[in-house]
Chains A and B, each alone.
Chain A
Amino acid sequence: MITLLKIELKKILPNKTFWVLIGLYILLTGFILFSIQGIVNSFASNVSDDEFPDMLSFSLYRFPVVWHNLTYVVGFLKIFLAVVIIVLVTNEYSFKTIRLNISSGLSRTDFVLGKVLLTAFLSLLAVLLVFISGLILGMLNTAVITFDGIFDKFSFLLAYFLEIFTYLSFAMLIGFLLKRSGLSIGLLLLYGYIVEPIAVFYLPDHLERIMPLESVSRLIGLPKTSIMKLIDKIDFINYVRWEDAVISSGYALLFLFLVFLIAKKRDF
């Protein structure tokens, strides 16, 4: 297993495209995480100055709500990681290096397993980024710091891992299916930003929540913050619902199963 991950890393670490995308992802994540409080609060105070809440009691960065707020706000950036995964998978097709891997002695399962490990690795990286930022921001913005105060709501970090891992598994499936990077990225965007949102709009709630990407985005619900006073009548959910976690995990398993199946059946 470790060897497989090492092989994957050796393939990509010298790759410029990889570093551009990952660099962009890290920069944007950091930027948003560290500036979101200022943006939200200035927006909230511009809209209505009356009854502006006490800054500290509403800080986005307070333990333990920091985990919920941060994971919610940078979740959308996972598209960068999805593009990384798609490029890495489709490169193996366009360079025909799948042949090199298998004829050198990987099994087809090993080959996919390497990619799955890489996906888990990138998901962990994303979680780590939020974890470190959250720790710093929480320390700076929480009046009384207790151990429980930090690790309460830690489930949001687990949910965040699942959110990214499932989404990347979906991207990987598309990459394996279509073999071409442009097409795959196009399909991911089309499905994620147009097809599924439209479907979700028309579906009743109990069906809506079992749509693949919708289930992923429901893992971490809209947090209650200063700006939310502008929107009425929303049920805020300040925990991770296990049903959503089960549905997302189910999708991750399904996507990965399909990838293994494709690799088993296909001629390279």
Chain B
Amino acid sequence: MEQTVLEIQNLCKNYGSIKAVNNLSLKVEAGTVYGILGPNGSGKTTTLGILMDIINPDSGNFLWFGQPSTKFQRKKIGAIIEEPVFYPYLSAIRNLKIIADIKNCNYSEIERVLKLVGLYPRRFSKFRTFSLGMKQRLAIAGALLGDAEVLILDEPTNGLDPKGIAEIRQIIMEIAGKGITIIIASHILDEVQKICTDVAVLNNGRKIDSGKVSEVLSETLLIEVAAPEMKKLKAAAGKYKSVRNTKQEADKLIVEFSEQVQADDFNRFLFSEGVTVSHLSMQKKSLEKYFLEVLKGS
């Protein structure tokens, strides 16, 4: 049985006229690596902040493990929101002891998590003296304390060099391998494709798509068609090979294919089915178009 770890229902948060989170709903199942993908300012951090009670939502709600949020649930959730935060004048180990106290967990766990992120030799160094990559790793260690069942990571590879990025991803994969559910916010398409199983795509605080990464982010093709008789068109299109999905939008039908197809071949097929097409245009999936422009550059 799949268990729902997190369910967000109609969450909203405005900053003045800015709709940082706009009627967001989503579900995260246990054991998934759930990506929240969106460009800068799309509301990822705001959403994660609300989930951890750092930000008050305007409306909507969310359930952790099917229950309304409490501090006791947060002790089972490790979260890094926006950036690693610790007391800069305290050593790594002292910082982790504070978290352990808050989560009522045993200090003996500290050694384990420090070793997992490779910071054990630096445990007595002050947080202030850490490099960005080390800070990120310490934050992951802190988030894992208390046998976290869920890990929330907000742009965990932001600002790191390629080696640092590879190390962090390695750690994330290792943690995911232990069955811990991971929710990861990112503006990097490639990152989400590489490490996530599921994804929700945000733009301007709205969810514009969600599902399995293999479906949502795959290189699929869309063909937009219109015909005088839309019903007949839809029935005919559904019979074509490798059609995954058809969707009516205004006076057009959006046909989604799971593999490359030729537009003229598709048109000929429709004609043979008795449908005369009045409009036909090929495009990459709209989401792809958007993110290829906005996200691939980063």
A10-B102 in contact given A95-B85, A99-B85, A107-B71 (Cβ < 8 Å): no
Which of B22-30, B52-60, B156-164, B222-230 lies at the interface? B52-60
Which of A11-19, A73-81, A223-231, A239-247 lies at the interface? A11-19
Whether B56 and A97, one on each chain, are in contact in the complex, defined by CB atoms closer than 8 angstroms, is no
- Is the C-beta of B98 less than 8 angstroms from some C-beta in chain A? yes
A104-B85 in contact given A267-B49, A267-B56 (Cβ < 8 Å): no
A102 cross-chain contacts in B, Cβ below 8 A: 52-54, 74
Assembly CA distance A95 to B53 (angstroms): 18
Q: B190 to chain A: closest CB distance in Å?
A: 27
Whether B102 and A101, one on each chain, are in contact in the complex, defined by CB atoms closer than 8 angstroms, is yes
A11 cross-chain contacts in B, Cβ below 8 A: 87, 90, 98
Assembly CA distance A102 to B102 (angstroms): 9
User: Residue A100 contacts which of B55, B75, B86 (CB distance < 8 angstroms)?
Assistant: B86
B253 cross-chain contacts in A, Cβ below 8 A: none
User: Residue A104 contacts which of B82, B83, B87, B103 (CB distance < 8 angstroms)?
Assistant: B103
Whether A95 and B81, one on each chain, are in contact in the complex, defined by CB atoms closer than 8 angstroms, is no
Q: B154 to chain A: closest CB distance in Å?
A: 11
A16 cross-chain contacts in B, Cβ below 8 A: 89
Assembly CA distance A12 to B155 (angstroms): 30
Interfacial residues of chain A within 105-119, with CB under 8 A of chain B in the complex:
105-108, 110
A104-B54 in contact given A96-B85, A97-B86 (Cβ < 8 Å): no
- Is the C-beta of A35 less than 8 angstroms from some C-beta in chain B? no
- Is the C-beta of B142 less than 8 angstroms from some C-beta in chain A? yes
User: Residue B52 contacts which of A3, A7, A10, A103 (CB distance < 8 angstroms)?
Assistant: A103
- Is the C-beta of A265 less than 8 angstroms from some C-beta in chain B? yes
Whether B102 and A106, one on each chain, are in contact in the complex, defined by CB atoms closer than 8 angstroms, is yes
A104-B75 in contact given A3-B101, A15-B89, A267-B49 (Cβ < 8 Å): yes
**B69-85 Cβ-contact flags toward A at 8 Å (1 or 0):** 01110110101011101
Whether B85 and A97, one on each chain, are in contact in the complex, defined by CB atoms closer than 8 angstroms, is yes
- Is the C-beta of A268 less than 8 angstroms from some C-beta in chain B? yes
Q: Summarize B's interface: helix, strand, loop or mixed.
A: loop
B interface residue count range (under 10 / 10 to 19 / 20 to 34 / 35 or more): 20 to 34
A6 cross-chain contacts in B, Cβ below 8 A: 101
Assembly CA distance A16 to B75 (angstroms): 30
Whether B101 and A7, one on each chain, are in contact in the complex, defined by CB atoms closer than 8 angstroms, is yes
A10-B88 in contact given A103-B54, A105-B74, A110-B71 (Cβ < 8 Å): no
Whether B98 and A14, one on each chain, are in contact in the complex, defined by CB atoms closer than 8 angstroms, is no
Closest A residue, CB atoms, query B52: A103
B72 cross-chain contacts in A, Cβ below 8 A: 105
- Is the C-beta of B97 less than 8 angstroms from some C-beta in chain A? yes
Interfacial residues of chain A within 1-53, with CB under 8 A of chain B in the complex:
3, 6-7, 10-11, 14-16
Q: A1 to chain B: closest CB distance in Å?
A: 13
B104 cross-chain contacts in A, Cβ below 8 A: 3
- Is the C-beta of B252 less than 8 angstroms from some C-beta in chain A? no
- Contacts beyond the supplied A99-B85, A105-B103, A105-B146: 12 A-B pairs with Cβ under 8 Å: A10-B98, A11-B90, A15-B89, A97-B85, A97-B87, A100-B99, A103-B79, A104-B74, A104-B142, A265-B56, A267-B54, A268-B54
Residues of chain A having any CB pair with chain B under 8 Å: 3, 6-7, 10-11, 14-16, 95-108, 110, 265-268
Please list 23 pairs of residues, one from A and one from B, whose beta carbons are closer than 8 Å in the complex, sorted by A's number: A6-B101, A11-B87, A11-B90, A14-B94, A15-B89, A95-B88, A96-B83, A98-B54, A99-B54, A99-B85, A100-B85, A100-B142, A102-B74, A103-B54, A103-B79, A104-B74, A105-B74, A105-B75, A105-B103, A267-B55, A267-B56, A268-B54, A268-B55
Closest 8 CB pairs of A and B: A105-B75, A103-B52, A104-B102, A107-B71, A105-B74, A96-B85, A267-B55, A103-B79
